[in-house]
Amino acid sequence: MGNFRFGVTLRGVGSRDEWIAKCRRAEELGYDVITVPDHLGTGLFAPFPVLAMAAAVTERPRLGTLVSNVPFYNLALFAREASTTATLLDGRLELGLGAGHMKAEFDAAGLPWQKASERIEYLGESVGYLRKHFEDEGIPMPRLLIAGNSDGVLDLAAEHADAVGFAGLRQQPGKPPGTFKLDNAEAVDERVAYFRTKASRDLEYNMLVQLVEITDDREKAAEHWHELTERSAVADARELLDAPQLLLGSVEEIAGQLEQRRERYGFSYITVFEAALETFAPVIRELQ
């Protein structure tokens, strides 16, 4: 087995001590990467300061954003934040970039909500700007992950990134921006196949897993999740058993699913949400 990297994306909320405890626990459980999202909301920490704190209290995991909402930022200020953090992390930073998808957050920040093509164009400009800034500062460019589902973002990842991030989610037609539906396995096949036609070099493929459930009844778990969530666009809950964004089953079954999905899609860098921090840890041990 082996040849996987495992990450957890932690919510930056609570107290200083709580944040330190979460980071140390993630390292203890064997996670290779600790990431933070970049969202606005009451009580949410800013991403770069908490990454610096995480670096101070851990030794092994790499640290990054999953992902930085680039259209939130003036590029000069974002580059300063990223390069300062890279220096403080001393080679452990993995910089994740995205084009943004939550209109409500732009409204809250008093920023214009641009159409997707304009946000993607700005994301593309950010890559060149960051590379020049890091070069001018004499700092090695951190490992770069670009995540998204659209052709435009995947094109940018194929050209510029070290890793491409998939979540298997897409905007629901006619719904407010940021209202997603879950792709089935065949739809993820299509997105990965599209990316492979654009990528002319080897990259790491990341999957952001939406749910991890350890259970001896995979079918029942799929039916329950299908009933509870509006994210599912599939008509039959049985389709969820093959969806790579969901990990349902015993520890051994989930380990096997990850092996199969690495073969099918190329997903070798697996990230789970904080809610699965403890739940997913036995799978990590199974695959090490």
pLDDT in tens, 108-134: 999 999 999 999 999 999 999 999 999
27/22 Cα distance (integer angstroms): 9
218/86 Cα distance (integer angstroms): 42
The conformational region for residue 168 under phi > 0 = left, psi -120 to 50 = alpha, else beta, is left
* Stated pTM of the model: 0.95
Taking 90 as the threshold, does the pLDDT of residue 56 lie above it?
A: yes
Taking 60 as the threshold, does the pLDDT of residue 229 lie above it?
A: yes
71/126 Cα distance (integer angstroms): 9
The pLDDT of residue 1 is 42
The pLDDT of residue 2 is 53
Closest CA to 121 of 155, 145, 144, 81: 155
The pLDDT of residue 13 is 87
Q: What is the pLDDT of residues 166-179, one digit of tens each?
A: 999 888 777 777 77
Beta-carbon contacts of residue 147 (< 8 Å; ≥ 6 apart): 66, 67, 96, 97, 98, 153, 157, 164, 165, 166, 167, 206, 208
